[in-house]
Amino acid sequence: MSEAKRVESRPYHHGDLRRALVDAARRLLEAEGPSALSLRAVAREAGVSPAAPYHHFKDKAELLDAVAHEGWEILGAQMSEAKSGATGPDQLTALGIAYVCFARDNPALYRVMYDAARDKEDLPGDMQDNKESAYCMVRDTMIENGADPSQDGHLELASVAAWCGAHGLAEMAGFRQFDHLKEELGGERPFLEAVLNHMGLFPKAHDGC
Amino acid sequence: MSEAKRVESRPYHHGDLRRALVDAARRLLEAEGPSALSLRAVAREAGVSPAAPYHHFKDKAELLDAVAHEGWEILGAQMSEAKSGATGPDQLTALGIAYVCFARDNPALYRVMYDAARDKEDLPGDMQDNKESAYCMVRDTMIENGADPSQDGHLELASVAAWCGAHGLAEMAGFRQFDHLKEELGGERPFLEAVLNHMGLFPKAHDGC
DNA sequence: ATCCTATCTGAGCATCGTTCAAATAAGAAA
DNA sequence: TTTCTTATTTGAACGATGCTCAGATAGGAT
């Protein structure tokens, strides 16, 4: 449908084709879902031949890795913002809510982020590499709010439990079977908060998404 | 590799080809992982032409549905057995552990079970259709152990929270990043129990897998 | 023995991921 | 400027996939 934008500097034939391909992939992902994300379709969307992507990514998997990488960056940014909008233990809730809302608003991207990881049996590095990464933020926030870093096992256990709970909810929240529960609780937000609260990992919930 | 067994009654050309196809699919799934599960490969494994499956399943998706259906049956049976091996609130823990252990022992099958559902945004009927279904067992066990069925929202909330926690853990437990935590806690079993316990949804943990 | 119908095959179509030799264009060297 | 070099892109091709369809085949009933 849409053409790749050709406004910026064009150092080579196509400008920054790598960039254009990742953008095209994300556009397709949002518009058509993960099943429509073929390498050929991405090339088509970027206005380029099916073989062109192979000079920027060794694999289809490597392209998806790049897309997933951006996903983790966006998630990290949104969680960081959510955290700074709250204080004390509420920060943990804010992180949880931000995580689940990200998954709700970008379901296809969220799937790509974990699919790549599942095949490798390795959590994506983007998730835990730097202080702005999603997992580390949860961990650090727990420490800031009284968890004992020296009692390392317990802290990590708490982080893992919180992560599992949030991920589970993120994957379940999309199913229609929970629509009536959402209505009953006054909308999707309250539903998400209620489940997170019930898990006891995220103390309370107040802030915006 | 292996040939389809041709021992039972053979009412038509191939006997019960539908059965043979589902078996072949599960064999491939276990041996080669979900990505190797093509319709053609299943037909090949069953010793039949690529077009044959279409007389028993309208789709590849419908074949996967059948595989997933069996997965839910097995999961239900294992959870039922785990429940009957415990009493009181321990039953809930037993259910949780059984759920996660099933996912650990059949990762490929577990993925197929949810992949089909995700695409439809509908939880698989097999999960909640009958009293032996996995979700209903959790719900019923909660009622049996003191939850108030009249306060319906809260009960369902508790079930959903437990399900999310178990599912999240089931998907995370396979990642290598948690290997050191597992060791530290004395193996995979203790790790799973510790996380479930930490979520506070499954009171205690004692029974076998 | 004949017919009917469910079952299976073989060939074919569009698409996919991937590779590779050849074409092209950008920047450096002359 | 002209030439050379190299990164970038293309076009054609291969094997594999999901799926369709006309025709072959074989049970079971008549």
Residue A98: strand pairing partners: none
Position A146 pLDDT exceeds 60: yes
> For chain B, how big is the Rg over CA atoms in Å?
19
Q: Check the CA dihedral A175-A181-A187-A190 and report its sign.
A: negative
Exposure string (b/e) for A110-129, b if CB count within 10 Å is 16 or more? bbbbbebbbeeeebbebbbe
- Model confidence at B13, pLDDT cuts 50, 70, 90, reads low
**Considering the domain boundaries, does residue B12 fall inside one?**
no
B65 and B30: one domain? no
- B131 with B66, same domain? yes
- Mean pLDDT within A91-98: 94
Rounded distance in angstroms from the CA atom of residue A10 to the C1' atom of nucleotide C29: 23
CB contact under 8 A, B177 and A201: no
B100 and B65 belong to one structural domain: yes
User: B110 and B147 share a domain?
Assistant: yes
Pair (B68, B48) in one structural domain: no
Is A172 within a domain?
Answer: yes
Specify the pLDDT at position B116: 86
Are B151 and B169 in the same domain?
yes
Q: Which nucleotide is nearest to A50 (CA to C1')?
A: D10
Q: Do A153 and B181 touch (CB under 8 A)?
A: yes
> Among A146-155, B38-47, B54-63, B115-124, which stretch is predicted with the lowest mean pLDDT?
A146-155
Query: To the nearest whole number, what is the mean pLDDT of chain B?
Result: 88
pLDDT greater than 70 at residue B75: yes
* CATH code where residue B149 lies: 1.10.357
pLDDT at A2 over 50: no
B148 phi and psi angles, rounded to 5 deg: -95, 110
Residue B205 has pLDDT above 50, yes or no: no
Average pLDDT over residues A125-149: 88
B17 touches strand C (CB under 7 A): yes
Q: Is the pLDDT of residue A145 over 60?
A: yes
In chain A, the number of structural domains is 2
Query: Which tens digits make up the pLDDT trace of A37-51?
Result: 999 999 999 999 999
For residues A91 and A187, state if they share a domain. yes
B131 to chain A, minimum CA–CA distance in Å? 17
Q: Which nucleotide is nearest to A38 (CA to C1')?
A: C16
Instruction: Decide if pLDDT at B207 tops 70.
Output: no
User: pLDDT at position B180, please?
Assistant: 92
Write the pLDDT tens digit of every residue in B104-126.
Answer: 999 999 999 999 899 888 998 88
DSSP assignments along B139-208, one per residue: HHHHHHTT--TTSHHHHHHHHHHHHHHHHHHHHHTT-GGGHHHHHHHTSHHHHHHHHHHHHTSS----S-
8 Å CB contact between B142 and B163: no
Cα dihedral B189→B193→B195→B199 (10° resolution): 160
Whether B184 and A111 lie within 8 Å, measured CB to CB: no
The string of pLDDT tens digits covering residues A40-83 is 999 999 999 999 999 999 999 999 999 999 999 999 999 999 99
- Per residue in B168-195, pLDDT tens? 999 999 999 999 999 999 999 999 999 9
Q: Are residues A77 and A171 in the same domain?
A: yes
- Return positions of chain C under 7 A from a protein CB: 6-12, 15-21, 24-27
Same domain, A87 and A127: yes
CA B160 – CA A198 distance, rounded (Å): 10
Count of Cβ atoms closer than 10 Å to residue A174 Cβ: 16
A167 close to B171: Cβ distance less than 8 angstroms: yes
Host domain of residue A53: 1-57
- Is the pLDDT score of B149 beyond 60? yes
The answer to whether A199 and A163 are in contact (CB under 8 A) is: no
Q: Which residues of B touch A184 (CB under 8 A)?
A: 153
**A29 shares its domain with A117:** no
